[in-house]
Structure 1
Amino acid sequence: MTNTSDTRPAGDEAQAARPSRLHRLMRYIPLVAPVLLWAVPCWVLLYSGQHWPLPVTLVGTALFVLGLIGMPLAMMRGHGRRQQDWAAIIGDTLLGSSWVLFTWSVLLGVLLRLALTVAGVGDGQDRARIVTWTVLGVAVVLLAWGYAEARRVPRVRELDVRLPRLGAGLDGTRVALITDTHYGPLDRARWSARVCEVVNTLEADLVCHTGDIADGTADRRRAQAAPLATVQATRARVYVTGNHEYYSEAQGWVDLMDELGWEPLRNRHLLLERGGDTLVVAGVDDVTAESSGLAGHRAHLAGALDGSDPDLPVLLLAHQPKFVDRAADAGIDLQLSGHTHGGQIWPFHHLVRIDQPAVAGLSHHGTRTLLYTSRGTGFWGPPFRIFAPSEITLLVLRSPQQPTAP
């Protein structure tokens, strides 16, 4: 899937006010969203004309109320100060399940009911019950499939990327990208090892991890991250921080990746030379780094490029796609990012687009800059991926002086 997005225009006063209103509105989302996620499907499945027997209505309502109360409590125990993995698993699973039920209750509650009415199928109660059983069936199928999609080793997505300033000697340079592994409450040490095995089959010159390694500290998730030490690259293995590192003692993750043989590109660069030509490989801390209060952590593109030849092409690692505005201003040739998960559970990608300029794929920004946004290698929170498959990406860099491989 390839998404093309326009660069964001310079904001006038009205555009500047819009994010401010959005941020004010988002303060209320943690209070309103859980109620909507459980109340809407409860109404559509139980109270919109089905006339279920009283015991069915009472039991069904009790289950929805239990979900409404249990989900935030479990998430607070799982992701709050206590960091209890069992609670995080329950809370995350309930969050994903409620999102799927909400989405399909809204869609089928309107569209299917309308279609049945137009087709003259049954009376109001019959149509309401058909909607209920259809929503439940679709939700169960999607959640089972989404769980399998989230837990499987991602497929490799390969694409050629032509960079106008890339020298002929660098044509065919192979860049493997993994990101958003999110090692967390569900132990995925074996999954991690298998991902690394797949990466090693790609025979990459450069392997990149663009952040969000885990949810939890390096000490806590070390066993799941340890297989990253086995990743092979002919030139370099490089890493930049994501926003989730700054929830979990980011410096510990930087130190662990260094210990595992990866080179943290914290506002610095290295040179990749091949065939007499040179590529600048730069990296920046995540854009949330400075607000974390961690000394020395911030996204500093000028520092990352300091001392590099401005005539050389630049490959930049930045966790969030929205950093591309700064990258385009600086004339970066290619930015690699993650963060979005492609939305992870459809149709959440529409909400992601409020905050990010691209959700997945290759997009063009400014006069020269290309952005590749990975859908991520793992998953965050809810153990589901629905219509947003994970990926291991192989980008083959192409020079304009060489023909593109078929």
Structure 2
Amino acid sequence: MVFDNPRNVLRGTAAGVVGAAALGVGYASLIERNAFTLREATMPVLEPGSPSLRVLHISDLHMMPGQKLKQNWLRELDRLDPDLVVNTGDNLSHQRAVPAVVQSLGSLLARPGLFVFGSNDYFAPKPKNPLKYFNKEHKRTHGEPLPWQDLRAAFTERGWLDVTHTRRELEVAGIRIATAGVDDPHLKRDRYDTIAGRPNPMANLRLGITHSPEPRVLDRFADDGYDLVLAGHTHGGQLCLPFYGALVTNCQLDRSRVKGPSKWGAHTRLHVSAGVGTSPYAPARFCCRPEATLLTLVASPSRGPKQGVRTGVSRSSAVVR
């Protein structure tokens, strides 16, 4: 019987681990990061008797001028023929990215749209120690200011509505929508008191919008009787493990709701987009493909009283009942 030298075994094992890690990094940064996908979900949030409403939820583009694959994929989304587009922020990652965002969204800007901004609309990303994401209270650091005013002007000139700290009402595809939004809670810019109060009870849909799905903000929307809240920011965890899911959410939200539809309290539904992009300083995704979501909103079979409950349930399947 021939025994291998223990040092050779250790060296072989180490080489195997390093090789597997290199393959994983290559896959996450070169393949999955650009494996854009469309998710679809049906959510029963409308008043009984309402027709269905197709909502395209996009978030976290983190656009750089040269990202042609991402830009071309975004241009194709208009073929989905959504009734409404909701953009939950973090569109920019570069000083010169505004034209790329506007051109990529293309014909979607001619459709009814609502938006709020996130931290990476206001400030450019900076290199970070990735271990900071495991500390939910870590100190925020900001890069150079980004031209968010130019992006806001481009969106509003084409008819999209900025719902930052504003309550608005609109009618889309026969659906009367009462909507409101807050500025980015991740930067603690949210001022919910500016929109506090129950939305129009005559609306078919009461829609809340925020970039970061911080529970303190979700609780306020639920307490005021909103049917649905849309958010982004989490990137779905960005780096996930099979059979475990997201390692972090980058906010106070629990990991079970890091992406997709879920319930928040007794009467409010939540949808968190895993987003389309990544920071240029962390250009990788694993078990968490970049995405946009086409939500089909349908009538709820039963609508309870409009009051919030501060306890939630775990993330549900793609159809929230």
CA displacement 1:330-380 (0-9 Å, x = unmatched): 222111111111121235932326632331122211221111111111112
* 1:188–1:150 distance in 2 versus 1, CA, 3 Å: farther
Return the match for 1:352 from 246, 249, 266.
249
2:63 aligned residue: 183
CA displacement 1:104-149 (0-9 Å, x = unmatched): xxxxxxxxxxxxxxxxx95532432232122222122222221234
The answer on 1:399 being equivalent to 2:275 is: no
Structure whose alpha-carbon radius of gyration is higher: 1
CA displacement 1:194-247 (0-9 Å, x = unmatched): 3121x1121100011100001233xx2123213145133785112111121231
Q: Shift in Å at residue 280 of structure 1?
A: 1.7
Partner-residue secondary structure (3-state), 2:85: strand
What pairs up with 1:6-405 in 2 under 5 angstroms? 122=4, 124-152=6-34, 154-163=36-45, 165-169=46-50, 171-184=51-64, 187-189=66-68, 191-197=70-76, 199-217=77-95, 220-232=96-108, 236-247=112-123, 248-249=145-146, 250-273=148-171, 277-288=175-186, 298-304=189-195, 308-310=199-201, 312=203, 313-322=205-214, 323-346=217-240, 349-352=246-249, 355-357=252-254, 358-380=257-279, 381-401=281-301
Q: Which runs of 5+ in 2 are unaligned?
A: 124-144, 303-318
Partner-residue secondary structure (3-state), 1:174: strand
Structure with the higher fraction of residues in helix conformation: 1
- Give, as a single letter, the amino acid of the residue that structure 1 aligns with 2:55: V
8 A Cα contact 2:44 2:299, kept in partner: yes
CA displacement 1:51-110 (0-9 Å, x = unmatched): xxxxxxxxxxxxxxxxxxxxxxxxxxxxxxxxxxxxxxxxxxxxxxxxxxxxxxxxxxxx
Runs of 4 or more consecutive aligned structure 1 residues displaced over 6 Å after TM superposition = none
Measure the CA separation in 2 of the matches of 1:253 and 1:274.
24
Q: Shift in Å at residue 180 of structure 1?
A: 0.3
Q: State the Cα RMSD in Å.
A: 2.9
Q: Which runs of 5+ in 1 are unaligned?
A: 1-120, 292-297
Sequence identity percentage: 27
8 A Cα contact 2:235 2:275, kept in partner: yes
Q: Shift in Å at residue 281 of structure 1?
A: 2.9
8 A Cα contact 1:205 1:234, kept in partner: no
- Give, as a single letter, the amino acid of the residue that structure 2 aligns with 1:362: P
* 1:191–1:252 distance in 2 versus 1, CA, 3 Å: same
Measure the CA separation in 2 of the matches of 1:335 and 1:369.
7
Structure with the higher fraction of residues in strand conformation: 2
Q: Shift in Å at residue 150 of structure 1?
A: 4.8
Measure the CA separation in 1 of the matches of 2:154 and 2:68.
16
- Give, as a single letter, the amino acid of the residue that structure 1 aligns with 2:211: H
Measure the CA separation in 2 of the matches of 1:127 and 1:363.
48
Measure the CA separation in 2 of the matches of 1:374 and 1:383.
18
Q: Shift in Å at residue 306 of structure 1?
A: 6.6
- Give, as a single letter, the amino acid of the residue that structure 2 aligns with 1:204: P
* 1:188–1:314 distance in 2 versus 1, CA, 3 Å: same
- Give, as a single letter, the amino acid of the residue that structure 2 aligns with 1:177: H
8 A Cα contact 1:203 1:234, kept in partner: no
8 A Cα contact 2:62 2:93, kept in partner: yes
Partner-residue secondary structure (3-state), 2:297: strand
Name which structure has the greater RCO, CA cutoff 8 Å, separation 6+: 2
Relative to the length of structure 1, the TM-score reads: 0.59
Measure the CA separation in 2 of the matches of 1:314 and 1:213.
25
Measure the CA separation in 2 of the matches of 1:181 and 1:384.
14
- Give, as a single letter, the amino acid of the residue that structure 1 aligns with 2:117: T
